[in-house]
A and B are shown apart, each in its own frame.
Chain A
Amino acid sequence: MDFHFNNPQEEDPKFDFHRFVLLFSHSFTDRIRFVGELELEHAMVEGLEEKGELELEQAYVDFLVTPKLNLRAGMLLVPVGIINERHEPPVFQGVERPFVDTVIVPSTWFEAGAGVHGEFGQGWRYRAYVMAPLDAAGFNAEEGIRGGRQKGSKANTRSLAHTGRIEYVGLPGLSLGTSYWYGKTTGTSFPDVKSRVLLGEVDGRYRNGNLEFRSQYAHLFLDGAAELNDTFQRTVGVSPNIAEQIRGFYLESTYFVLPYAAPRELALFLRYENFDTQYRMPTGFLPLKRFDRSAWVLGFTYYPDPDVAVKFDYSIVRNQSSLVTAPNSLNLGLGWWF
């Protein structure tokens, strides 16, 4: 559960019950399991208005065969990045998720699909899925591919995408991972456009004593961006100015202050992010510098219990535009999990 108070510069402050999540699990047998996650975003869903969302983020059946090879099918989380598969509020610092995990890796990124997962041993494990592709009709300059998620809702599967992740979790406190997504895009609006998305990503987390570090780098290549922009221009009248490369990274350090008796904890954190959804443009298109952004996010999380997080942060956002400024933001949050 995620309850926020957001106060961006030059905007009215808002209360937002951002996420209300219900998890379900059932074991048919020791080897056949079901997991479901239903999420209500922004407290309500209203017909004909984009107010909130009711999303089926996970609903899959696992067939556990051997530790090295297991099968999974249904609505799956795309195994890319730190946050997407591990997004409970007490698990990450900051009221909102990192910008990179919002506009470069569009978390929460879930899609219908099937695949395999397992462990190689020595702390190595993997996931590999075939999934419904992205819909290029939803791509834009500000948030990259975020609007292209089909979310398993009558998802067009004219072509299939594939995605995978390998991670090393063999040492206490250490987690290293690399992942990708590759697939042709789909889109009923312009079926003749042949574009492809390749997203590559590396990430790491390490906690030792009171210190934790995490970092992530993600780079996306969009083949056919020029044709997409031209097609939009012809059909809608406005080019979305989609880039052919977008990329972002962040570095975060957290210090866990332990002046209190267990279970209470206080974590101070500082995160630097750099992300550009107009990183490389196709020939004939100029980048919009307002979308070449960086951010410093600093704040703290107070844990009265390991499953309850009271959060505060201040985001200082900058962009490369001389005309449009990026708003700083003061945020308060209350997240819990049980």
Chain B
Amino acid sequence: MADKRQELLMFNTTQRFVHWLHAAAFFVLMATGLMLYIPWFGNSIALGDGGHAIRLIHRIGAIAFMLVPICYLVFNPKGLFDAMKRIFTWDKDDLGWLRAAPAYYFLGDEEAMPPQDKYNTGQKLFYLTVVICMVGFIVTGLIMWFGKGTVPAWMFRWSVILHDLCAIAYAAFFLVHFYLSVMHPLMKGAINGMLFGWMPEEYVRRHHARYYEELRSKEVLGSKS
């Protein structure tokens, strides 16, 4: 039965699944990572004799983490390539976003904001960071997990440093991502896309105008009825 609000499919099932898998893995990894990383934190929680259980859980989370790109690739390669293409495409509109961002996010000034793609510049930045850091995490993480004694010591040491740098970047960006998805007044409703896949047409037109045009031109306006 028709709903008078039109809705567009932003994220398909696979995309949503890998997002939440990623999110779950991220939480486990970040939490256990912090416990492993910060003495005070780790020692106060210290599961299993000094924290070896925490290490174990971190590794389980890591396996889940590594499954994210694999699942994406296996179940929705088109979606993956599409996303990758978008986040590696940068033009002057992205500069425009940067200039407009302070007024937009602090004062809600939507006029100055140029039309955004499926992923706005900020989201592109975030996604790109995530991808780079994910690669970084996995490579350095695998070295730290299996490489003791097989790789040269300097490689291990740099892996530890880079792994933790990635974590810092990830954590900082995640805070922004979380805030903007859930808490910022302008972004109300943003999360529905990732929860249900379908977003109100109006939202898409307002926040991702370029994408909206793209969808229209491809006549993929669907309706959820």
State yes or no: do A and B come from one complex: no
Residues of A within 8 A of B (CB): none
